[in-house]
Each structure stands twice: as C-alpha cells, then as structure tokens.
Amino acid sequence: MKAMILAAGRGERLMPYTGQTPKPLLMVDGISLLERNINALYGAGIRDIVINTSWLGSHIQDFVTQLDLPGLHIACVHEGDTPLGTGGGIFNALDHLQDGPFWVINADIITSYNFAPIVLAENSLAHLVLVSNPDHNERGDFGLDGDLVLNESSQMHTFSGISCLSPDIFQEVNQSIFSLAQLLRKFVGLGLVKGELFLGKWLDVGTIERLNKADG
C-alpha cells in the first residue's frame, strides 16, 4: 500500500518560522513534522510514499534524500510556485498512486494513528479518520452514522487530515486547483464514504500557538 503526505502549503499562520523553513520541516521535540509522519507510515509497513511540494520545496527534497530507511522509496512531486490545494495536489500526483487505495496525511499533524493497510468497504471510495472537535474547529466537519460519513449530523466531528482514498474518486475531476474536502463532500452526499472516530493522540500544528503547545 502507498501513501501521500501533503506538504505543499506555505504555512502563512506560522510566519515568521516558515519564511525560511517549509512547515513540514518545523521541529517538535527534536524531530520534524515530516520525519515524524514518514516514520509512522514506515512503521506500519508502507514503503512507497509520495510527497507534494511547493513553497521551499527544494528543502524537502534535500531532506528526503538524507533519510536512511531500508526499502523506503519517496517520490517528491513539485507543484511549482502556486499550490494546487489538497485535492489538486493529490490529483497532480495520481500517476504515482494508481495501484489501489492509498493513505493521505497532512504533513502538519502529530498523531498516534496506526496506518496499517486497509481495505475500503464495498461501495466506498474513501475512508476518513475523524477526531473530536478541537477548540479551533468547534463546529466540526462531518458526522457519523455507524461507519457512514455524513455531511450534517447532530454530532459533528473534525476531519483529521488522514484518509484512505481510492484513485477512482478522482475519475470525474476536471479542475487542477481544489480542496480535498470539496471533493469528499460530494461523495459523502452520495453515501460513498466510510469513516471512524479516532480517540488517540492527534494535534493539528497549524499556528504558532499550537506549535508551541506541541513542543511543550
């Protein structure tokens, strides 16, 4: 099974830290966010990883070449100066991800989630990992009815930035810049997305305040 790490964001809310360092290479407890997530995927047996880059992408490429994990293959797909969004970034890298369902993880999260191989449920194009709503997203993003993901529910949860996607979910895409959430909502509405509520360690390191909290 393959995985993709979304690492093309500029990290505006983490300026000035991200002025010279891409957000995925920011350090928390002595290890970069990117390396932490690569290690998590590698520990789950994943040996093929795709990373999309844009802002300061050469820094990420240089970092990847220095990793020494036996059997690991990483392909960096550079998007140029204009990021394509989370959905567009995956779509742009899809040639590397056509073998079957693949994990997708945001580079700027810290989690204890187990990225073990997963088989998508019948009549499902995606599996979303949801978490309890943090202070910065109190309304949540999606609901759950058993394992069926809903766009609206009396009990909403936050999309963790972790998902398993079938390449088929991109079959009818006809644009280059779009968010993954935008695409997911379409298929959630069609009843084609399953999910789970993860109650383990998870933190979105998207602001200086949250970065300091993670490093504390």
Contacts 24+ apart (CB under 8 A), 9-16: 9/54, 9/55, 9/83, 9/107, 9/108, 10/54, 10/55, 10/83, 11/55, 11/108, 13/206, 13/207, 13/208, 14/206, 14/207, 14/208, 14/211
Please state, in angstroms and rounded to a whole number, the distance separating the CA atoms of residues 189 and 11.
30
pLDDT confidence of 211, banded at 50, 70, 90?
Answer: confident
Q: Is the pLDDT of residue 20 over 80?
A: yes
The pLDDT value given to residue 99: 87
Can you tell me the distance from the alpha carbon of 128 to that of 131, in angstroms, rounded to the nearest whole number?
A: 10
Distance CA 190, CA 213 (A): 38
Following DSSP, what letter does each residue of 26-43 receive, concatenated? -EETTEEHHHHHHHHHHH
Is 117 or 127 the better-scoring residue by pLDDT?
127
Domain count, the chain: 1
Distance CA 98, CA 2 (A): 9
**Distance separating alpha carbons of residues 47 and 66, to the nearest angstrom:** 16
How many Cβ atoms sit within 10 Å of the Cβ of residue 204?
Answer: 19
Tell how far CA 107 is from the center of its chain. Answer: 6
Summarize the confidence of residues 200-215 as an average pLDDT.
86
Query: pLDDT digits over 120-140, tens only?
Result: 988 999 999 999 999 989 999
Look at phi and psi of residue 32 and say left if phi exceeds 0, alpha if psi is from -120 to 50, else beta. Answer: beta
Q: What is the mean pLDDT of residues 193-204?
A: 96
- pLDDT over 90 (residue 7): yes
- Mean of pLDDT over the chain: 94
Distance between CA 146 and CA 174 in Å, rounded?
32
- Which amino acid, residue 168? D
Buried b / exposed e over 81-105, threshold 16 CB at 10 Å, is: eebbbbbbbbbbbbebbeeebbbbb
Residue 216 has pLDDT above 70, yes or no: no
Q: CB-side exposure of 52: number of CA atoms within 13 Å?
A: 28
Confidence bin at 18 (pLDDT 50/70/90): confident
The whole domain housing 79 covers 2-214
The CATH number that applies at residue 16 is 3.90.550.10
Cα of 7 vs its chain's centroid, Å:
8
Burial degree of 36 (CB within 10 A; 0-12, 13-18, 19+): middle
